[in-house]
Amino acid sequence: MSDIGYRELFNSSIENPTGFWSDAARAVTWTREPQRVLDDTNPPFYRWFPDGQLNTCVNALDRHVAGGRADQPALIYDSPVTSTKRTYTFHELLDETARFAGVLRALGVGKGDRVVIYLPMVPEAVIAMLACARLGAVHSVVFGGFAPHELATRIDDARPTVVVSASCGIEPSRIVEYKPMLDAALDMAQHKPAACVIVQRDRHRCELVPGRDLDWHELIGNSEPVEAVPVAATDPLYILYTSGTTGKPKGIVRDNGGHAVALLWSMRHIYDVAPGEVFWAASDVGWVVGHSYIVYGPLLLGATTVLYEGKPVGTPDPGAFWRVVSEHGVKALFSAPTALRAIRKEDPEGTHIHRYDLTGLRCLFQAGERLDPDTYAWAAEKLGVPVVDHWWQTETGWAVAANPMGVEALPIKPGSPTVPMPGYDVHVLRIDGSECQPGEDGAICIALPLPPGTLPTLWGDDARYEAAYLCEHPGYYLTGDGGYIDEDGYLFVMGRIDDVINVAGHRLSTGAIEEVLATHPAVAECAVIGVADEIKGQVPRGLVVLKARASAEGLADELVKLVRDEIGAVACLKQVDVVAALPKTRSGKILRKTMRGIAHGKDEPTPSTIEDATVLHAIEPILRP
Sorted by where each begins, the domain ranges of the chain are: 6-310+390-447, 500-623
* Pick from 400, 82, 431, 61: nearest CA to 228: 61
pLDDT the model gives residue 117: 98
Q: Which residue has the higher pLDDT, 168 or 515?
A: 168
Element of type H or E holding 22 = helix 17-24
Asked if the model's pLDDT at residue 498 lies above 80, the reply is no
Residues 6 or more apart whose CB falls under 8 angstroms from that of 14 comprise 422, 423, 425
Alpha helices in 72-164 (DSSP H): 90-106, 123-135, 148-158
Angstrom CA distances, 496 to 229, 288, 527, 539, 596, stand at 40, 18, 17, 13, 11
**pLDDT tens digits for range 233-247:** 999 999 999 876 555
Q: What is the DSSP code string of 315-377? A: SSSTTHHHHHHHHHTEEEEEE-HHHHHHHHHH-TT-TTGGGS--TT--EEEE-SS---HHHHH
Amino acid in the structure at residue 365? F
C-alpha–C-alpha distance, residues 57 and 422, integer Å = 26
Q: Centre a 10 Å sphere on the Cβ of residue 540 and count the other Cβ atoms it contains.
A: 26
Asked if the model's pLDDT at residue 587 lies above 80, the reply is no
Percentage of the chain beyond pLDDT 70 is 94
**pLDDT tens digits for range 503-553:** 776 767 676 787 788 889 888 778 888 888 888 888 889 999 887 788 888
pLDDT the model gives residue 606: 56
Fold (topology level) of 500-623 = GMP Synthetase; Chain A, domain 3 (3.30.300)
**pLDDT tens digits for range 258-311:** 999 999 999 999 999 999 999 999 999 999 999 999 999 999 999 999 999 999
Asked if the model's pLDDT at residue 501 lies above 80, the reply is no
Angstrom CA distances, 67 to 61, 62, 85, 215, 552, stand at 10, 8, 27, 34, 67
pTM here? 0.85
User: What average pLDDT does the chain have?
Assistant: 91
Residue 623 pLDDT class (50, 70, 90 cuts): confident
Pairing of strands 426-429, 442-447: antiparallel
Rg of the chain over Cα atoms, rounded to whole angstroms, equals 24
C-alpha–C-alpha distance, residues 540 and 576, integer Å = 9
C-alpha–C-alpha distance, residues 212 and 166, integer Å = 14
CATH number assigned to the domain with residue range 6-310+390-447, chosen from the 4 options 3.40.190.10, 3.30.1490.190, 3.40.50.12780, 3.40.50.20: 3.40.50.12780
**pLDDT tens digits for range 13-69:** 999 999 999 999 999 999 999 999 999 999 999 999 999 999 999 999 999 999 999
The alpha carbon of 563 is separated from its chain's Cα centroid by a whole number of angstroms, namely 21
Q: Quick check: 141 and 291 in contact, CB under 8 A?
A: yes
**pLDDT tens digits for range 93-113:** 999 999 999 999 999 999 999
Phi then psi for 382, rounded to 5 degrees? -75, -35
Angstrom CA distances, 531 to 41, 556, 595, stand at 44, 17, 10
Q: Centre a 10 Å sphere on the Cβ of residue 420 and count the other Cβ atoms it contains.
A: 24
Asked if the model's pLDDT at residue 608 lies above 50, the reply is no
**pLDDT tens digits for range 119-129:** 999 999 999 99
